Amino acid sequence: MPREKFKTLTEQMFYILLCLKDECYGIDIFDKITQMTDGKVTVGSGTMYTLLEQFLDAEMIREVKVEGRRRSYILTNKGKEMLEAETQRLRTQVANFDAFFGKGDAR
Q: Which domains, ranges and CATH numbers included, belong to the chain?
A: 11-100 (1.10.10.10)
Q: Are 36 and 29 in contact (CB under 8 A)?
A: no
**What pLDDT sits at residue 63?**
96
**What pLDDT sits at residue 1?**
47
Is pLDDT of 107 > 50?
no
The one-letter amino acid code at 12 reads: Q
> Hey, what's the torsion of the CAs at 49, 31, 59, 21, to 10 degrees?
180
Handedness of CA 74, 77, 81, 82 (dihedral sign): negative
Summarised one tens digit per residue, pLDDT across range 20-75 is 999 999 889 999 999 999 999 999 999 999 999 999 999 999 999 998 889 999 99
**CA angle 25-39-5, nearest 5°?**
60
pTM exceeds 0.75 for this model: yes
**What pLDDT sits at residue 104?**
59
**What pLDDT sits at residue 102?**
82
Summarised one tens digit per residue, pLDDT across range 55-69 is 999 999 999 999 888
